Structure 1
Amino acid sequence: MMTHVTRRLAALGLMAALAACSSEARFASPVIPPEARINSSFPSLEIAQVTLPSYAEAEDIYVRGTDGAISPAGPLWADLPARSITLQLARDLGTITNATVAPEPWPFRPFPAATVDVRIEELLATAEGIFRLSGQYFVAPEAGGRAASGQFAIEETIVGDPGSASAIAAARGRAVTRLAEQIARDGL
């Protein structure tokens, strides 16, 4: 027969075990406003949610080993990568171009002057201490204007410990900012 004290200790032990299971570390890219300023031929831009390779759609931070295998590093992103990268692209493109920029679905009237669609092929850290972001982007005007597309292959050095999730997150943030600058310079 369990005493009141025994039941209470068992309940506290269960609560501690559950808390330990749910306290996985999560890492977000730091918000660092881009310094570049580039004029856009579009006064407003909708950013379609980025598409990712299947391994990068989850919350896991992935690393490509020296043998080429892509594996989860252990820690998790603070948010789903597609959502957080889309939000960062919208924020960075707004800062860079001074246009009205929002992620889909478009929250304003009238419709945006153009939509930016980013399709990511590679989003990972490497055992060599590099963060890789590659893929294609497309700029589709709503009415008039010049449609554009381009490829990107961005590499950012992981500063500090290449296995550190916070260092990987910082490198990802810098890579996405460089992508926003490339889209603004070459596509808008």
Structure 2
Amino acid sequence: MTITTTRRFAAIGLALALAACGSETRFASPIAPPEVRVPSSFPSLEVAEVTLPSYAAAEDIYLRGADGAISPAGTLWADLPARAITLQLSRDLATITGVTVAPEPWPFRPFPAARVDVRLEEMLATAEGTFRLAGQYFVAPEAGGRAASGQFAIVEPIGGESAAAIANARGRAVARLAEEIAREGL
């Protein structure tokens, strides 16, 4: 690890800690509709609540240090990460595919044509100034159609030393995941 990497991580941690001092500061990923369009072989999709590693399921924003230790940054996500990511995936998949997409529980009749299940193994900022989102996705048709699964490891530059920059990077990473699921799984 270089001195520059160590300094960057220290600066990110300090900025996040200062942002948290004296208040319960929360950060949301901005809504940015995807511009990519990919047709879906399914007319409707249900997105199961995203599963997260235990550290990422909490409201805290986490950082992985150069030594590999995963620690809370001292600031919070605006919403529970599983809920926020599930809602963003639903919104982004609907925009990308043009089909009816909703998070579970399915609010419509009849049942959805397929279910998308995302299981994250990693969701955090790193000492290298990146945001990592890694795991697996599964697409299960209700009746007929092609089942699909895939692994992903998405890395987005944070582009700053603030919790807002981390939230922006998370939003971009989830949008890239929605595009990958649409291209490879639907």
- Relative to the length of structure 2, the TM-score reads 0.88
1:39 partner SS? coil
CA RMSD of aligned residues (A): 1.3
Name the structure 2 match of 1:3: none
Aligned residue number for residue 101 of structure 2: 101
| Unmatched tracts of structure 1, length 5 or more | 1-19
- The alpha-carbon deviation at position 21 of structure 1 amounts to 9.4
- Give the deviation of 1:22 after TM superposition: 8.6
**Residue in 1 aligned with 2:55?**
55
Q: What does residue 171 of structure 2 align with?
A: 173
Query: How many pairs were matched up?
Result: 167
1:174 maps to a residue whose letter is: R
CA pair 21-63 structure 1, distance change in 2 beyond 3 A: closer
Does 2:32 match 1:32? yes
Residues 63-110 of structure 1: CA deviation (Å, up to 9, x unaligned): 000110000000000000000000000000000000100000000000
**Bigger Rg over Cα:** 1
Please give the secondary structure, in 1, of the residue aligned with 2:63: strand
Q: How does 1:65-144 map to 2 (within 5 A)?
A: 65-144=65-144
Q: Deviations over 1:9-33 (max 9, x none)?
A: xxxxxxxxxxx99941000000000
TM-score, L = length of structure 1: 0.87
Q: Note closer, same or farther for the CA distance 1:22–1:145 as it changes in structure 2 (3 Å cut).
A: farther
Matched, 1:182 2:184: no
The CA deviation string for residues 91-134 of structure 1, in whole angstroms up to 9 with x for no partner, is 00000000100000000000000000000000000011000000
Secondary structure, aligned partner of 2:165: helix
Q: Quote the residue 1:12 is aligned against.
A: none
Deviations 1:42-76 (A, max 9, x none): 01000000000000010000000011000000000
SS in 2 for 1:102: strand
Deviations along 1:135-183, one digit per CA (max 9) or x if unpaired, are: 000000000000000000000000122xx10000000000000000000
Q: 2:155 & 2:69 partners in 1: Cα distance? A: 18
**Unpaired stretches in structure 2, ≥5 consecutive residues:** 1-19
